[in-house]
Amino acid sequence: MLDYRFIIENLDAVRKNIADRYMKADADAVARLFARRTELSTALQGLQQQRNANAAAMKGKMEAPERAALVEEGKRLKESIAAAEAELGEVEAKLEKEALKIPNMAHPAAPVGKEEKDNLEVKRFGEPTKFDFEPLDHVALGQNLDIIDFDSGTKVSGIKFYYLKNEGVFLELALVRYALDILQKKGFTPFITPDVAREEILEGIGFNPRGAESNVYALEGEGTCLVGTAEITLGGYYSNMILPKEKLPIRMAGISHCFRREAGAAGQFSKGLYRVHQFTKLEMFVCCLPEDSDSFHEELRSIEEEIFSGLEIPFRVVDTCTGDLGAPAYRKWDLEAWMPGRNGGEWGEVTSTSNCTDYQARRLNVKFKDSDGKNKFIHMLNGTAIAISRGIIAVLENFQQSDGSVKIPKALVPYCGFEFIKRSKQ
């Protein structure tokens, strides 16, 4: 959430930012409603002062007619104050509703564009994997090796659900532990977070828990939702709190299941594990001083690069364009791994990291007490250490062998306990 006064004082820039992000929000409505709120607040204060003066006059000695007049004036003021408070409450609610629609300002260097094709590649690790045989995609590999069962997932739970089996189970657990060990060495506190969060926490983080465009599973009648990422539960951990300055930065690593509706996510790029309704993810989250958030953004990106370079998976880093940022993000880096089975070989997003500045902290009311004694909003950042389903895609497709087996990356062998996943004997 942007500061109201910032919106008003930078109205042209806020309008342009909304347009660059291809979002629907009305900065002018915020300016009008803020002005109206100021008028109503001033008028209410005037009425309250009149009420106090009337009450003070009632305490003095006076004739009956004067007292009766003051009593009538007191009744009138009471009614006027009630009406003014009601109108002010309505305007404040409308103001907040409109302000919540306005996205964070984008970093000046973020490429302006509408969709993924407008992202800017800034770095590459390794080269796309080449084979001396016709490579399979992860769907065929998973079925042939008897480690992924999409058909049973569809039968039992519906489309975009799946079962992991046999070595696939150990591969998932290995990816989690491999990444978690890296994070723990870097000072992250590990969490296993709830898979459910209150709607106000989702709204605070910047997710829309309701409506046709929502990607969230809402639990009917509970006022809660299944989380799409541990960013939600980690971000909500310190909601409505004032943190001591000396406690910052706070590094958190959260393991959770992630639930996403993925409405309309059909087609060849979404098949198999790439877009599913449930998966496991290890998420990084940082709370820090405002002046440190840019450097922490680079730190989160470097950790993501370390995780995937350690797995020997080719990837590239892209600077995400304004239209693909998401409302809370000031700047976002995406890490895209090479996926040989994706349309004959394509880059596919496996992680992202966002600097959300104080946008989420304002909505969640998370502050720190500065050296000057004033309470100020912290900055919040998030980053995917590893989304397991997409990590599995990258491992299976890049490490497949000509005999149909899959070689386990060296970094994962100690966690898996085996070096190859071989074809089922059945």
Lowest mean pLDDT among 132-141, 148-157, 267-276: 267-276
Q: Is 352 annotated as catalytic?
A: yes
Which pairs count as long-range contacts for 82-86, CB under 8 Å and 24+ apart, including other chains? 84/40, 84/43, 84/44, 84/47, 85/44
Per-chain mean pLDDT for the chain: 94
* Residue 276 in tokens: 């599913």
The catalytically annotated residue of 15, 32, 177, 275 is 275
Q: Which residue has the higher pLDDT, 69 or 412?
A: 412
**Which candidate in 352, 354, 389, 397 is catalytic?**
352
How would you classify residue 365: left for phi > 0, otherwise alpha for psi between -120 and 50, otherwise beta? Answer: left
**Exposed (0-12), middle (13-18) or buried (19+): which is 32, by Cβ within 10 Å?**
middle
- By mean pLDDT, which of 205-214, 256-265, 348-357 is the weakest? 205-214
- Mean local confidence (pLDDT), 222-238: 96
| Residue 365 pLDDT exceeds 60 | yes
- Higher pLDDT among residues 229 and 59, named by residue: 229
pLDDT digits over 179-204, tens only?
Answer: 999 999 999 999 999 999 999 999 99
349 is catalytic: yes
Mean pLDDT, range 6-17, rounded to an integer: 96
Burial class of residue 89, CB neighbours in 10 A (0-12, 13-18, 19+): exposed
Residue 47 has pLDDT above 60, yes or no: yes
| pLDDT-based confidence at residue 56 (cuts at 50, 70, 90) | confident
- Using the predicted structure, report yes or no on whether residue 77 has a pLDDT greater than 60: yes
Q: Is 260 a catalytic residue?
A: yes
What integer is the mean pLDDT of 135-139? 96
Does pLDDT of 350 surpass 60? Answer: yes
pLDDT score, position 68: 85
Contact 77/47 with Cβ under 8 angstroms?
yes
Average pLDDT (249-265) is: 89
Out of 172, 304, 349, 397, pick the active-site residue: 349
Domain 116-421 part of CATH 3.30.930.10: yes
Q: What predicted TM-score, i.e. pTM, was given to this entire model?
A: 0.92
Average pLDDT score over residue span 246-260: 97
| 331 catalytically annotated | no
Q: Is the pLDDT of residue 107 over 80?
A: yes
- The catalytic residue among 231, 251, 390, 397 is 390
Decide which of 207 and 59 is more confident. Answer: 207
Supply 347's token pair.
Answer: 């880059």
pLDDT at 175 > cutoff 60: yes
Domains 4-100 and 116-421 are alike in CATH topology: no
275 is catalytic: yes
Share of the chain above pLDDT 70, in %: 96
Q: Indicate if the pLDDT at residue 169 is higher than 90.
A: yes
> What's the rounded mean pLDDT across residues 54-58?
84
pLDDT value, residue 141: 97
357: pLDDT strictly greater than 60: yes
Apex 238 CA angle, 237 and 242, nearest 5: 170
Any idea which fold 4-100 has? Helix Hairpins (1.10.287)
Q: Where are the domains of the chain?
A: 4-100, 116-421
Overall average pLDDT of the 303-317 stretch: 98
C-alpha to C-alpha distances, 189 to 117, 181, 193, nearest whole angstrom: 36, 11, 12
Q: Tell me the C-alpha distance between 253 and 231, whole Å.
A: 9
